[in-house]
Amino acid sequence: MAHTLTTCMFCGVGCGVYLETSGNRVVGAYPSVSHPANQGRICLRGWHVHEVADSQDRLKAPLIKKKGKLQEVSWDEAFGFIAQRLSEIRQQHGPDSIAFLNSPRCSNEESYLFQKFARSVIGTNNVHHGTGVYSNNSINVLSEMIGVPASTNSIRELDSAEAIIVDGVDLVRRMPTLAGAVIRARVNGAKLIVVGTRRHRVAENADIFVQIRPNTEAMLYGAMAKIIVDRGLMNLGFIRQRCADYEPFLAELQYYDLLTTAEVCGAAPELIEKAALAYAAAKSAALLYSTSMEERSKDSIRAVVNLALLTGNLGKKGSGVFALTEQNNLQGVCDMGMLPDRLPGYQLVSDPGARARFEKIWGTKLPASAGSGARTVFSGNGVNKVKALWLLRYDPISTAFRDVASSLRRYEFIVVQHLFMTESAQHADVILPTSAFGEEQVSFTSTERRIQLAEKVVDPPAGLTPAWDQIGHIARLMGAQWEYGSAAEVMDEICEAVPLYGGANYANLAREYGRQWPCTKDRPLGTPFLFEENGNGHRFHFAAVSKPAGTTLPKEFPQILVFGHSLYYWNLNVLIRHSETLRREYRALWLDYPDGFVEINDEDAKRLGIRDGQKIRLSAASGSATAPARVTAEVMPGTVYIPYFMHELERQVFRAAPNDSNLVAGRIEKEAA
Amino acid sequence: MKGRILDRGDVLKIVDLLRADGYEVIAPFHGRGRDTFFDKVTDENRSRLEIHLPNPYYPPKRYVFPHIERLLKVHKSNGDLRIEPTCYRPKRALFGIRSCDVAGIYHLDRFFLGKEFADIYYEDRRKNLFLVNVVCTDTQRDIGEECFCVCTDTGPAARDHFDLQLMDLGEEFMVVAGTSAGEALLSNPLFRKGTEAHIEKRRQILDAVRKRFKPDTTSWFTATVRYVSQEKVLEKTWEEIGKRCVECGGCTYVCPACTCFTVSDRQAGPNEIERVRTWDACALGGFTRMAGGFNPRRAVHDRRNRRFFRKLAHYFIQRELSMACVGCGRCAAVCHGDIGMPSVVEMIRKATEEVAPNERVSH
Amino acid sequence: MSASATENVYLPNVAVLDRVVTEIPEVKTFYWHFEDAAAQKRFRKFRPGQFAEVSLFGTGEFPTSLPPSPTEDETFFTVRKVGSCTNALHELKPGDKFAVRGPYGNGFPMHEYYGRNLVFVAGGIGLIPLRSAIVYALKNRDKYRRIQIFHGAKTPGELMYVPDLGEWGKSPGVECYLTVDRADKNWTGNVGVVGSLFKKPGVQVPVESTIAFVCGPPIMFRFVIKDLLAMGFRERHIVSTLERYMKCGVGKCGHCCIGVAYVCVDGPVFTYEQIQRLGEDI
């Protein structure tokens, strides 16, 4: 028996958990009391992480598709085949005919080597983490306005926030430990303001719940800013000393007014006012929004940051902007440059100076134009351009894209690295099974910028190696001089390449509970919250956000259909199936609604005479479809929530029309039996 | 019960005696920071043994009722089934188990062995388990913020159900045997007879330790047991508690007296299936959901209040002959929404007394 | 390994499927026997109203009531397809092996009912858990006074155990009444809910010294109880069997605990008086 402190692999909170092992099996898991992110708590997933880690039902040998069937082959054959096919395809169609997609649950080391492989060995910027198609908006806005695309403060500091705004994300379902931190802060006296469309568990705990129509956040925050300015509650000292572009921001702000906002958002004006005053009155206030999976306009994020700047809620303990990365390593995957337009450390590929730095470190010439992201790769045009796809621990079919399965049939060559035979893996030409959580030492970076180690506690099944090692093997076969003896050595290179990670070598990470970046050579202990240094250091920028035009719904389509991406993410995740309790809890929805469901508000349902489970028809201008209704008070009246796995419904509603927006005006009615 | 005195410097020799006697000895060790955990004592870690340290959150109940445990292995071949039950009977000692956890194991004994059906997997693990209880005397290190054993009458010093009990008297330890197995150990020349002065010292220390706990909680606890038993707790209060629950299951997993489990089959090889049982939690939506969709406890507060009813209602205390709460405080430490037992007791007391002030207990 | 005095209550015995009979859509009866004759003999001591745990290895285990009476020779289950385990059972063919443990639960105290009238009221597959008691009572006909069976289903095709019902109706001193919610063209009997049978001309339900057995879907259960109480039945003279999600069957896993009772060991048979005190949705 042995107990090892490691990092949970499910969500972006990055809880410290101990794994208990007996022989070569993981037999238990429990939270660390001392870990600053979770302080003795973990969620249901964490309590069952050992069952997932101990799953015996794994891919154990490499497979190559021969005559349409996946067959076991030797490692050498698999590696050789990949190197040969990638070379051929690059030769024939050019480097940009190959795309590299990974999951935001991959480690820093494998993400770093994956994009390095794409950029330096193949010569393409077609690299992306597949899940967070919208996180680029957050990265770009935060980079523009505060210069750092990440949460500014630590989870633990929510204790000392006097007010907390939770925007949109259903924390109990998505990041339960963070939900707990928010609920406890509320119990201990913080004002909890929840903004969003759904009445989720955290909203039920709110002092002020501003339930708003989907995608009206920019309007709401603009109106709140206007109230704060009108009452003179802004922090002028902070603004004068540390912010730029205040005037243009004010110039746009004057067009906002409370009553129009209330109308557009569908919230009572008194409630909006109350929320604004509570936020402004707090000596320290935190604002949490999710960066990753739901569509989120740049303006709505600008409005969030404007509010924080206006009230001086940056650079202090407990007051900041939490740009939540929901998956365990979405932050790290972005930090490592799994972005089509940014190199590791967020430098733009278009910046010749940045390229020159990496060309020196990597010893090759790098492509200068931005690559294609996941969304483009899977779109009609993308499929025509991209011939080969490498999916690293990524199962796009079970995530948010429509019709990925049919796209996957059209690529010439697909490489999959994964633990399990996922739906996407069925389409692969080569599958490399990898070692799993608990079988390899790697690092993850949590939503509070905490770079921390996930430890090796058992040996992988015979023959299985870490994904980063497999990538290195193929790179060498393709002529690269890569020599990494361990993940720690990969991190040593990351320390050189990414200044924010400069001091994050494994020896340092192992000392306490990881380190929060910036963790530089001269500041190796890391940075719990950003911008502490006063005045002269950092300059923030307000962003002028024009008042959004309120949309009116056409008479025949009075409801808003919301095509969501994140809410039921875990319910379909492949890992969940490997624990009895998790499978039971997450599968219950499918047992109750075997044909899927769309969610409608209970009062709407009553008015339309719709019972739970009953089939309803959804119509939009572009098409219509039927689905069973899940009647719930969580959904806002007048909205219909369509989970991402209702692919067929989405196809029928949109038909040929592009669904670039996640919202569409529609109508629901009872479907005749 | 037989008591003896031992020099402070000799107290860890009990571990050596047990190991020499063939026991696998489990004891609490320090992890990172304030973290502690129970682990097997080896030659390598023997020097890191400590008497006073925070009680590990991952409870020692898993040595009799593991987090995950195989019940059966089933081999399939040519349509035949061969079922092989798992048999595991370690000779094991738990050194340094606190009084609350001793009470927890006693509760599990009542539940798993003392009813219509005895649980053989529990019995196998329990049969040769030797319990060395350490009385919580170090108010800094032994007793946590959340401890409330004085309310559940389980500590700081267990009265029975241990094999051996150690209490720190300063330069010496008092060692009490609770079973004949414990007494047998006391025949070793390490131990000597105690005096009246030792007993007096023990009393003084315990009095001082008891003062470490908040004074009012004991009577609140009693009142809450009555409110819950008489179903006087308002629906509103249960809802308030329910909405703070994030349904992590932690409170039941760490609870020394929680017994619920689920059973599942998993593939262990091409023709081999293992049937395992794992800890389960009544707060979870799937706990009572039946095939076909009917769920008698759909709302979160129905499930949440279930736990407190199960723990505090008189019916269950009578049925199991012991209360399913031992005052260890783990549920409070592990709870995301601060609705562990002490907070709930407080919430129920406050809310119920507002409605029915004459219910207030005098003390 | 030394022999232990404690029996392993979680250890099932291998059973062999003999034949399968389709009762109604999605509901089949599975006739089976234990591989081991001694296990068969032990199991055959079951009482009406008890249940067993059935293992489909790789899928899991589920509880199911025992419809045969101990007075019958064959051992069988009647099971509706509702989840993964019952699906797996439905896929078995004669000769296939699975495993069974039990019998469990309190069962109906049939000897306490000696000298009384017995009224069985079953909605749909609610007849499955009552079948054992009905057959037992008919076999011990002299111990009981009047016996009435009321059975209703949605459609004539969903009436349970139709051949049995025909036979029972022919037994001396047994009245058998059927009803359906929706008739088809061949149906000449009563149309309406089960309770409507109580008020039919010619039907006289004895109330004094009568035990009413009621099983069926929740909504039927509530209405029948209302009717019976209105007729003057005492709550303690109405009995039913409860179903709950269950893992162990022996009072340990905690899933079936309602209020203060464990359905698996304190039930599954409860009087309506007890059910009311449990305080949970039925």
| Whether A163 contacts A283, CB under 8 Å | no
Give contacts of C85 with chain B, Cβ < 8 Å: 291
Strands A515-516 and A450-454: antiparallel
| Whether A121 contacts A480, CB under 8 Å | yes
Structure tokens belonging to residue A337? 């440059």
Residues of chain B with pLDDT under 50: 359-363
More confident residue, A400 or A46: A46
Distance between CA atoms of C61 and C84, rounded to whole angstroms? Answer: 10
**Average predicted confidence (pLDDT) for chain A:** 92
Closest CB from A1, A44, A592 relative to B40: A1
User: What average pLDDT does the segment A230-247 reach?
Assistant: 94
What's the pLDDT band for A583 if we cut at 50, 70, 90? confident
Give contacts of B35 with chain A, Cβ < 8 Å: 5, 18, 32-34
Closest CB from B57, B248, B269 relative to A176: B248
Report the neighbours of C using a cutoff of 3 or more CB pairs below 8 angstroms. Answer: B
User: What average pLDDT does the segment A660-664 reach?
Assistant: 78
User: Could you report the per-residue pLDDT of A258-299, keeping only the tens digit for each?
Assistant: 999 999 999 999 999 999 999 999 999 999 998 866 778 899
pLDDT score recorded for residue A295: 73
pLDDT score recorded for residue C57: 95
Which residue of chain B has the CA closest to C59? B265
Closest CB from B71, B80, B288 relative to C245: B288
**Contact assignment for C254 to B280 by CB distance below 8 Å:** yes
Exposure of B264 by Cβ count < 10 A (0-12 exposed, 13-18 middle, 19+ buried)? Answer: buried
The terminus-to-terminus CA distance of chain C in angstroms comes to: 45
Instruction: Provide the β-strand partners of residue A71.
Output: A64
Residue with tokens 């009866």: C29
Distance from CA of A628 to the nearest CA of B (A): 15
User: CA nearest A566: which of A171, A147, A181?
Assistant: A171
Structure tokens belonging to residue A40? 């003795």
Distance from CA of B268 to the nearest CA of C (A): 10
Three-state SS for C261?
Answer: strand
- Spatial neighbors of B156 by CB under 8 A, at least 6 apart, are B99, B135, B136, B137, B142, B143, B149, B150, B206, B209, B210
pLDDT score recorded for residue B304: 66
**Contact assignment for B335 to A41 by CB distance below 8 Å:** yes
**Contact assignment for B85 to C10 by CB distance below 8 Å:** yes
Give contacts of A7 with chain B, Cβ < 8 Å: none
Give contacts of B285 with chain A, Cβ < 8 Å: 585, 588
User: CA nearest C88: which of C55, C117, C136?
Assistant: C55
Whether residue A131 is predicted with pLDDT greater than 50 in this model: the reply is: yes
pLDDT score recorded for residue A132: 61
Whether residue A310 is predicted with pLDDT greater than 90 in this model: the reply is: yes
Q: Count CB pairs under 8 A between chains A and B.
A: 145
User: What average pLDDT does the segment A468-493 reach?
Assistant: 96
Which residue of chain C has the CA closest to B118? C6
**Contact assignment for C255 to B287 by CB distance below 8 Å:** yes
Q: Count CB pairs under 8 A between chains B and C.
A: 116
Distance from CA of A72 to the nearest CA of B (A): 16
Distance from CA of A329 to the nearest CA of B (A): 21
Closest CB from A42, A201, A584 relative to B250: A42
Distance from CA of B291 to the nearest CA of C (A): 5
pLDDT score recorded for residue C1: 38
User: Could you report the per-residue pLDDT of C56-89, keeping only the tens digit for each?
Assistant: 999 999 999 999 999 999 999 999 998 889 999 9
Closest CB from A1, A20, A591 relative to B293: A591
The terminus-to-terminus CA distance of chain B in angstroms comes to: 33
User: CA nearest C151: which of C160, C142, C139?
Assistant: C160
User: Could you report the per-residue pLDDT of A139-175, keeping only the tens digit for each?
Assistant: 999 999 999 999 999 999 999 999 999 998 999 999 9
Three-state SS for C31?
Answer: strand
Distance from CA of C167 to the nearest CA of B (A): 32
Distance from CA of B138 to the nearest CA of A (A): 20
| Whether B124 contacts B81, CB under 8 Å | no
Distance from CA of A160 to the nearest CA of B (A): 16
Measured from the Cβ of residue C279, the count of other Cβ atoms closer than 10 Å reads 11
More confident residue, A218 or B306: A218
User: CA nearest B359: which of B166, B223, B225?
Assistant: B223
Question: What is the percentage of chain A residues whose pLDDT exceeds 70?
Answer: 97
Give contacts of A585 with chain B, Cβ < 8 Å: 284-286
Measured torsion, CA atoms of residues A173, A178, A179, A182, in degrees rounded to the nearest 10: -160
**Contact assignment for B292 to C83 by CB distance below 8 Å:** yes
Global ipTM: 0.92
Helices (H), A438-579: 467-477, 487-497, 506-509, 569-572
User: Could you report the per-residue pLDDT of A433-454, keeping only the tens digit for each?
Assistant: 999 999 999 999 999 999 999 9
pLDDT score recorded for residue B290: 65
Q: What would the 3-class secondary structure string for chain B be?
A: CEEEEEEHHHCCHHHHHHHHCCCEEEEEEECCCCCEEEEECCCCCHHHCCCCCCCCCCCHHHHCCCCEEEEEEEEEECCEEEEEECCCCCCEEEEEECHHHHHHHHHHHHHHHCCCCCCHHHHHHHHCEEEEEECCCCCCCCCCCCCCHHHHCCCCCCCCCCCEEEEECCCEEEEEECCHHHHHHHCCCCCECCCHHHHHHHHHHHHHHHCCCCCCHHHHHHHHHHHHHCCCCCHHHHHHHHHCCCCCCHHHHHCCCCCCEEEEEEEEECCEEEEEEEECCCCCHHHCCCCCCCCCCCCHHHHHHHHHHHHHCHHHHHHHCCCCCCCCCHHHHHCCCCCCHHHHHHHHHHHHHHHCHHHCCCC
Distance between CA atoms of A300 and A216, rounded to whole angstroms? Answer: 8
**Contact assignment for B260 to C255 by CB distance below 8 Å:** yes
Distance from CA of C14 to the nearest CA of B (A): 7
User: CA nearest A15: which of A180, A186, A177?
Assistant: A177
Structure tokens belonging to residue A142? 């935060």
Residues 13-52 of B with CB under 8 A from A: 31-35, 37, 39-40
Question: What is the percentage of chain C residues whose pLDDT exceeds 70?
Answer: 97
Three-state SS for A395?
Answer: coil
**Contact assignment for B83 to C14 by CB distance below 8 Å:** yes
Three-state SS for C134?
Answer: helix
Give contacts of B267 with chain C, Cβ < 8 Å: 58
**Contact assignment for B72 to C62 by CB distance below 8 Å:** no
Q: Would you list which residues of chain C are within 8 Å, Cβ to Cβ, of chain B?
A: 1, 4, 6-12, 14, 57-62, 82-86, 95-99, 218, 243-245, 247-248, 250-255, 257-258, 260, 265, 280-282
B310 lies within 8 A of chain C by CB: yes
Exposure of A164 by Cβ count < 10 A (0-12 exposed, 13-18 middle, 19+ buried)? Answer: buried
Instruction: Provide the β-strand partners of residue B276.
Output: B70, B264
Give contacts of B262 with chain A, Cβ < 8 Å: 580-581, 584
Task: Determine which of B227-241, C34-48, C145-159 has the lowest per-residue pLDDT on average.
Answer: B227-241
pLDDT score recorded for residue C3: 44
**Contact assignment for A34 to B32 by CB distance below 8 Å:** yes
B296 lies within 8 A of chain A by CB: no
pLDDT score recorded for residue B295: 66
Give contacts of B266 with chain A, Cβ < 8 Å: 55-57, 580
User: Could you report the per-residue pLDDT of A371-388, keeping only the tens digit for each?
Assistant: 998 888 888 776 778 999
pLDDT score recorded for residue B360: 47
pLDDT score recorded for residue B363: 37
User: Could you report the per-residue pLDDT of B330-363, keeping only the tens digit for each?
Assistant: 999 999 999 999 999 889 888 877 776 554 444 3
Give contacts of C276 with chain B, Cβ < 8 Å: none
What's the pLDDT band for A303 if we cut at 50, 70, 90? very high
CA distances from A96 to A86, A359, A412 (A): 11, 18, 14
Q: Which sign, positive or negative, has the C-alpha torsion B347, B348, B351, B354?
A: negative
Q: Where are the beta strands (DSSP E) in A150-265?
A: 163-167, 191-196, 208-211, 243-244
**Average predicted confidence (pLDDT) for chain C:** 92
Closest CB from C58, C59, C280 relative to B296: C280
Whether residue A629 is predicted with pLDDT greater than 50 in this model: the reply is: yes
**Contact assignment for B285 to A581 by CB distance below 8 Å:** no
Three-state SS for A115?
Answer: helix
Closest CB from B260, B290, B319 relative to C260: B319
Task: Determine which of A60-69, A591-600, B120-129, B131-140 has the lowest per-residue pLDDT on average.
Answer: A591-600
State which amino acid sits at residue A223.
A
Whether residue C110 is predicted with pLDDT greater than 70 in this model: the reply is: yes
Task: Determine which of A524-533, A561-570, A641-650, B301-310 has the lowest per-residue pLDDT on average.
Answer: B301-310
DSSP state for residue A541 in the 8-state scheme: E
State which amino acid sits at residue A415.
V
| Whether C244 contacts C255, CB under 8 Å | yes
Mutate to test the interface with B, among A201, A587, A631 (most CBs of B within 10 A): A201
| Whether A58 contacts B269, CB under 8 Å | no
Give contacts of B270 with chain C, Cβ < 8 Å: none
B291 lies within 8 A of chain C by CB: yes
User: CA nearest B41: which of B15, B62, B63, B17?
Assistant: B15
